[in-house]
Amino acid sequence: MSFDRNIKIAPSILAADFANFGAEIVAVQEQGADWIHVDVMDGHFVPNITFGPETCKAIRPHIKGVMDVHLMISPVDQYIDAFAKSGADIITAHYEAGPHIHRTLQAIRNTGAKAGIALNPGTPAESIEYLLDMIDLICVMTVNPGFGGQKFIHGQIDKVRKLRAMVGDRPIHIEIDGGVTPETAPLVTEAGADVLVAGSAVFGGGSVANPAPYGDNIRAIRSAARG
């Protein structure tokens, strides 16, 4: 998995047809998706339950590029190996999910996966200043985690700007998760983000039988993000 700062659109399968994941993933990739984002929720750390490593393993053969697995679970460490074995290229854990985040990042990297860290809206950028050399991706939550379709929290834009300054020349992606649309995409990319997670803004209006709207949605977000 090579590093570059080109804008990447990562559709969240949380907004896809759960009964048709494989075909949905193929369709959205054919329509221009760069990564596939998998939101894992446990009903404990966040107020929702989605899926686990077996689902990731089942969809992995359908993903041509990067499988970006976002663990909204606590505790997290004992599940890292299972998600790595399911084929995750990036495993992101929340800063807030446990007391020993450095150990968590070590565990992720020891599997061979890239290590991501996610920050809830109330967590300041400075919290991860001493972790930057352990991180491959920073996921900035621009909604409170747990459900798709929420409104973008504009106060997070300044956090993105601070993180971009902190990252400097390090090969670290800055990812935005929550409320990404053609209207909000340019706000965060101008601040320094390069990976945009979008659920309903990509999957809305389309289907496996009619995937063209997926492509229209992806192109609209990418075009807006590039300014």
Q: Name the residues annotated as catalytic.
A: 39, 177
The contacts of residue 79 (CB under 8 Å, 6+ apart) are 52, 53, 71, 73
Q: What angle do CA 126, 199, 98 make, to 5 degrees?
A: 35
Positions of E strands within the chain: 8-11, 35-41, 66-72, 90-94, 114-119, 137-141, 173-177, 195-198
Query: Dihedral sign, CA of 7, 9, 10, 14?
Result: positive
Query: Dihedral sign, CA of 114, 144, 119, 52?
Result: negative
Q: How far apart are CA 86 and CA 57, in angstroms?
A: 4
| CB-neighbour burial class of residue 181 (10 A; exposed 0-12, middle 13-18, buried 19+) | middle
Question: Within its chain, how far is the Cα of 222 from the centroid?
Answer: 16
Cβ atoms of 113 and 134 closer than 8 Å: no
